[in-house]
Structure 1
Amino acid sequence: MTRASLTIPTEPIGSIPRPAELLAAMADRAAGRIGDDELAAAQDQAVRDTVRRLEEIGSPVVTDGEQAKPSFATYPLAGADGLAPDGAVIPFADGHQRQLPRLTAGPLRYAVHADRYLRAALRHATVPVKQAVIAPSALSLLYPQDGIDGYPREAFLDDLTAEAEADIRGCLEAGAHVVQLDFTEARLSLKLDPSGGLLEQFIALNNRVLERFSAAEQARIGVHTCPGGDQDSTHSLDVDYAALLPALMQLKAGAFYVQLAGEPDPDKVLGVLADHLPGNARVFVGVTDPIDPRVETPEQVRDRILAAARHLPVDRLGTCDDCGFSPFADDTSTSRDTAFAKIRARVEGTALAAGELGY
């Protein structure tokens, strides 16, 4: 590839704050005031508007904004049986918590697969669409520590591996530009288990799924890592990236989406990334911080990319937002307009950096 033909790709991570009309429809559905059809219509309108606004900004790749997902983490479980509400707790720095469900019976089966959301977005998009899916490592936390009678953990992991493969493969076959595994629990695992044993288990499980795909398919699969981003707080920003990234880069994926804008020492992180960059992978560095209410300027974004280019080969570099915006429906800490303003700054700043680098 010639220098003149190179560009710096830029992609969103996934979620976009939901419009007020959709939030109202979700509340009405929960209260029984409207039915499923009315909610589905509101979700489709939100997806249509999300895709339209991303395209108007000039985003070369779009997502559905996860408008119809209950959350980025729990969508496969919507309507599933055999779950109790008292599962693993994820504490955030500001004191609030999120709690996963607990599996009470097997076998594990996804009630919803992500290609449903992808197909909805493809109906409205005129540019490539990426699809985020939850990493199997996150859903491995559903299994209780004291086990389930008649359903051993290894049987659960077999089922989870098969379901996660089907989730990814369905999106690839439906025409996803790329499928992104959300692996936010990676950094959190080092807080829960500083020895790295839990992270090692997570990496092994995710690779168990990724190894089921060909090299060409793996090139269309990416992995996103961040310290969480919910209600303007994080769950593991205090964990040193240097302990995570060498292990993370062992995943058999073609792209890595790495939160960076919110890091206190981005140059240190970039040095670690440069030292452990896999053979053919591309690293998308975060250049906008979704939990910072200040909207970055294109020039700030440009400068962050130029800093990254001092460490990473430009032909292996991309840009993204640090995390998704408002990944849970009840997170209204960031407005929809702010999210799109930040995304516009990312798109325009990436173009500025490409120009300065001669691409």
Structure 2
Amino acid sequence: MTSINLGHPVDMHVHLRQGEMMKLVTPTVKQGGFSVAYVMPNLVPPVTSPERALEYKQELQALAPDTEFMVTMYLSPEITPEVVADAAKKGVSGIKVYPAGVTTNSDQGVSSYEQYYPVFRAMEEHNLVLNLHGECPSTPQSDITVLNAEERFLPTLGELNKMFPKLRIVLEHCTTKAAVDAVNACDDNVSGSITAHHLSLIIDNWSGNAINFCKPVAKLPSDRDALVAAATSGSPKFFFGSDSAPHPIKNKRTCNNAPAGVFTQSHALTYVAQVFDKAGKLDNLKKFVTDNGRKFYQIENMATSGPEVTVVRKEVVIPGLIGPEDDGVVPFRAGEKLDWTIEWN
């Protein structure tokens, strides 16, 4: 194949930040090939009300009027069943769970799920999506590290699915074969999102390399291969969520405590097409980046007018930096030549 029409792809997990970084990266959603972006709420302070979620959406829409933004709230004590009902009426799409302390801006996250059972029941009733950052916090006492934090979380996914069988749940940014298996073992209303960088990286690629460091971290070659198999299979249980997470290069250069996050937004479809081409599965690319996510989120008709996206077999060089020196972001695979690019037509 030399070109593939993908219609209007959807990226169901993006971080667009605030302030100058928001201004820099928000337009790159379209640049990367996507018509719809599902935006994470881990701002400072976090998005914990429908009013703030809608205000944030307006800020993003002003920066990228050709992109449709879906907004979420951050699970916290401020989120009650009444807030869920109000959010559903006002067009908020989901609620994101961050276990306390596991990643960027997660300090106000969840330590116990039981207190939120009434919220999950309300989400079932009002058809909001529960988005799970599927890791347990790393603690020496529990023998949990970044390498097994996802796998140790997976029983919680199964329990939530059994307790709330009508609740649509996404296990975000799967990184292990165990996660793929757990999603497949759950009901049809449980899906998994997979990033572009986790389709390529293994532990050796981020150990000592802050640009490739993210959470959850990339794992073993066998895990990466399981992710590629799931993504390229065409299964409706899996769809694309970039988890593109920009950090200023000056922060990534920090010797201690470099921030977690890989920036893929500007060339997201290029990275994914490269993986599908290598796997010989380009015929399933549209399912992964367009059809499956739209069906799960029940947005089949959202942002489907206007130009469509085609991936074209044409060499492209990933730039070394996007934005100003020090405050710009280094994109994934910076400086590399890849075989695919996108066109809007």
TM-score by length of 2: 0.51
Match of 1:293 among 202, 211, 228: 211
Given that 1:12 and 1:321 are in contact with CA atoms closer than 8 Å, whether structure 2 keeps it comes out as: yes
Which of the pair has more CA radius of gyration?
1
Aligned equivalents of 1:47, 1:244: Cα separation in 2:
31
Consecutive unaligned residues in structure 1, runs of 5 or more: 1-5, 19-42, 77-109, 140-159, 189-198, 230-234
1:255 positional shift: 3.4
Q: Does 1:114 align with 2:53?
A: yes
Counterpart of 1:133 in 2: which secondary structure? Answer: strand
Distance 2:11 2:132 in 1: 13
Structure 2 contact 99–136 (Cα < 8 Å) conserved? yes
Instruction: Give the equivalent residue in structure 2 for 1:59.
Output: 34
Whether 1:340 and 2:280 are equivalent positions in the alignment is no
Question: Aligned to 1:357, which of 284, 293, 315?
Answer: 284
Aligned equivalents of 1:172, 1:313: Cα separation in 2:
30
Any idea what the Cα deviations from partners look like across 1:311-332, whole Å, max 9, x if unmatched? Answer: x8711211223574449x9777
The answer to whether the Cα contact below 8 Å between 1:257 and 1:284 also exists between their aligned partners in 2 is yes
Q: Distance in 2 between matches of 1:63 and 1:325?
A: 15
The residue type equivalent to 1:355 in the other structure is L
* 1:130 matched to 2:130: no
* 3-state SS of 1:314 partner: coil
1:340 counterpart letter in structure 2:
Q
Aligned to 1:185: 100
1:244 corresponds to which residue? 153
Is 2:189 aligned against 1:280?
Answer: yes
For each residue in 1:2-51, what CA deviation from the matched residue of structure 2 results, as whole angstroms up to 9, or x when unmatched?
Answer: xxxx9997525332466xxxxxxxxxxxxxxxxxxxxxxxx3x7545433
Residue aligning to 2:314? none
Amino acid across the alignment from 2:284: L
DSSP-derived class of the 2:189 partner: coil
Give the alignment partner of residue 115 of structure 2, picking from 193, 197, 205.
205
Distance 2:115 2:150 in 1: 21
Distance 1:57 1:267, change over 3 A: same
Deviates more, 1:240-249 or 1:220-229: 220-229
Asked if structure 1 preserves the Cα contact closer than 8 Å seen for 2:74 and 2:96, the reply is yes
Among residues 255, 261, 285, which one is paired with 2:169 in the alignment?
A: 255
What is the match of residue 307 of structure 1? 229
Superposition pairs of residues 313-328 of structure 1, within 5 angstroms: 314-321=235-242, 324-326=245-247
Q: Quick check: 1:181–1:223 contact (8 Å CA) kept in 2?
A: yes
For 1:64 and 1:242, how far apart are their aligned partners in 2? 25
CA shift for structure 1 position 209: 0.6
Which residue does 1:232 correspond to in 2? none
Q: 1:70 matched to which residue of 2?
A: 44
Partner SS for 1:11: strand
- Give the Å deviation of 1:172: 4.0
8 Å Cα contact 1:14/1:132 also seen in 2: no
Structure 1-normalised TM-score? 0.50
Which stretches in structure 2 are left out of the alignment for 5+ residues? 1-5, 104-109, 139-143, 214-220, 288-345
In the aligned structure 1, how far is the partner of 2:195 from the partner of 2:134? 10
| 227 and 174 in structure 1: CA distance in 2 versus 1, 3 angstrom threshold | same
- SS of 1:293's equivalent in the other structure is helix
**Deviation digits for residues 102-121 of structure 1 (CA, Å, limit 9, x no counterpart):** xxxxxxxx797333212322
How many residues are matched? 242
Query: Quick one: distance in 2 between partners of 1:350 and 1:206?
Result: 38
Q: How large is the Cα RMSD of the aligned pairs?
A: 5.0
Distance in 2 between the 1:282 and 1:224 partners?
13
Structure number having the greater helix percentage: 1
| Contact 2:134 2:153 survives alignment (8 Å) | no
- Residue 114 to residue 179, structure 1, CA distance change in 2 (3 Å): same
Q: 1:268 aligns with which of 170, 174, 178?
A: 178
Answer yes or no: is the 8 Å Cα contact 2:8–2:34 preserved in 1: no
- Tell me the CA shift for residue 57 of structure 1: 1.1
Q: Distance in 2 between matches of 1:111 and 1:215?
A: 17
Is the Cα–Cα contact under 8 Å of residues 293 and 334 in structure 1 kept in the other structure?
A: no
1:154-193 matched pairs, under 5 angstroms: 160-162=78-80, 166=83, 168=84, 171-176=87-92, 178-185=93-100
Percent sequence identity is 10
- 2:12 and 2:96 map into 1 onto residues whose CA distance is 13
* Matched AA of 2:13: I
Q: Contact 1:10/1:318 (CA < 8 Å) preserved in 2?
A: no
Hey, what's the Cα distance between the residues in 2 that align with 1:338 and 1:65? Answer: 14
